[in-house]
Amino acid sequence: MNFHPSIDHWLAELERQGKSQATIAGYRRALAHFVRWSEQTYGQAFDPAAIIPRDVADWKTRQQTVENAAPATINTRLTALSQYFAWAVAEDMARSDPTVSISGLPLPARRPKALDEVYVRRLLRQVNQAGEPRDVAIVELLLGTGLRVSELLALRVSDLTLGERSGEVVVRRGKGGVHRWVPLTAPVRRALRAYLDSQPKLKRGDPCGSASRPAARPERHLQSAEKYAHLAGLDPDEISPHVLRHTMATRYLAANPDDLRGLAAILGHADLNTVMDLHRADHSRPGRPDGKS
């Protein structure tokens, strides 16, 4: 759809600020949703200066009552709209921010849902098809081992053993100081080997983050998963480090029923009850990242 010029300018500004493509794409979808609703409701072209708080409130209500949108989706759209109008006011494209009096929805506490196998395959196919070796290694490693992001960032080259028939990663700084060894499947080993081969200057004692693109904040490392989730037709908002960790655990239990102790050792859980809770949750159908059932 054709956007108001101010929206294109705002999205371009976000890109100049270094926002991820996944974030910009999410904001674009949110603004498109609001603009479409506004134009269909009033029969007029969208104008940021004409929007009033009642418009935002009605848009929010329609999402709840007619579209049955998830609270997290509504909140994400409200956040995008709020940031856009804050910018529009600063640029004198709107006299006031119509979102300031509109609150988000409370989110129910819930466990992260594992991805269905078909969506796991779609994500892996997309990142292997279009990703750089570093992105492939990150996604394959998180899905194949269930490492926490903090554990991923702490890895050094010497922590990896990549044999032809077997391999493992040593987690030296796990949660609670747990030191553990996690086996690596063949696809994970191939992805890691391809990444290390693309970084010939890395030495055994170096962090696994490349010298040319050093380790940064955890969320920047996971932008690769969000980006390729979007390209694969999934909802980037539903792809998080914990979802990938939960997905690995669910896949492990499907292949090794009732091996809770083995899974606890791989995930670094000192308390077996934590894994038992996951096992009970696994009896419900894993979630789809596009919000459908």
pLDDT of 210: 56
| DSSP type of residue 66 | T
Report residue 109 CA to chain centroid gap: 18
Report residue 204 CA to chain centroid gap: 30
pLDDT of 281: 52
pLDDT of 48: 96
**For the chain, domain boundaries:** 5-90, 117-281
Measured distance CA(146)–CA(268) in Å, rounded: 9
Provide the CATH number for the domain formed by 117-281 in this structure: 1.10.443.10
Residue 136's contacts (CB-CB under 8 Å, 6 or more residues apart) are: 127, 128, 191, 194, 195
Both tokens of 91, joined, read 């640029």
pLDDT of 45: 94
Q: Which fold has domain 5-90?
A: DNA polymerase; domain 1 (1.10.150)
Closest CA to 151 of 142, 161, 164: 142
Measured distance CA(190)–CA(196) in Å, rounded: 10
pLDDT of 242: 79
Distances (CA, A) of 101 to 41, 56, 143, 214, 284: 21, 9, 41, 41, 38
Q: Which regions of the chain are under pLDDT 50?
A: 211-219, 283-293
Determine if residue 284 is left, alpha or beta; phi over 0 gives left, psi from -120 to 50 gives alpha, anything else beta.
beta
pLDDT in tens, 229-248: 777 777 766 677 778 888 89
pLDDT of 119: 85
